[in-house]
Amino acid sequence: MAEPESEYEEIFKKGTIVEVSSEDEGLRGSWYTATVLRTISRKSRKIFVEYHNLMEDDAGSKHLCEFVDAILVRPIPPREPHRIYSLMDDVDAFHNDGWWEGVVTRILEPSNCYSVFFRCSREQIDFFSSDLRLHREWVRGNLWVPPLEHHASPSSGFAAFSLLPIEFFSSCI
């Protein structure tokens, strides 16, 4: 069996486009696109990346580059460009320069828009389907796992959402 470092080295070669998660408060559950600039350091198990949408300063003159823990890095998830989402689908929505985990709470037809509720921020925001993707987890360094199926029912998490204060934003109008 290969050592974890060699598995990471094989998957995350220099020049590979990846996604990086953060453990920082307020950023958990989000993924940011980056390019690997330097492969894993065996001692620190870190990868040096350059973010595509995160900048070093407010002026936006230079992309943020940093060492990140290899465990916070994954390949770009598969896309399904013409996917139709259902109520309670776990999705990632492109928002604030990254992909944020949420759940579809409303289908806005025929505009091809969906309302997505973000559990962490308690916000509900409308998105075009082009800014959504099915939420998937990268497991054991070699496998994408789709979410478990959810069924909207009075005892499901959807009912609990209505009890929370929600900020609502729409970009689909």
Q: Which residue has the higher pLDDT, 111 or 49?
A: 49
Q: Is the pLDDT of residue 160 over 50?
A: no
Q: Tell me which DSSP letter residue 161 carries.
A: H
Q: Which residue has the higher pLDDT, 120 or 123?
A: 123
Q: Is the pLDDT of residue 124 over 60?
A: yes
- Write down the pLDDT at residue 163: 43
Q: What does CATH list as the number for 4-75?
A: 2.30.30.30
Average confidence (pLDDT) over 133-142: 84
Torsion of CA 72, 78, 82, 84, to 10 degrees: -60
C-beta of residue 136 within 8 angstroms of C-beta of residue 99:
no
Q: What is the pLDDT of residues 33-42, one digit of tens each?
A: 999 999 876 7
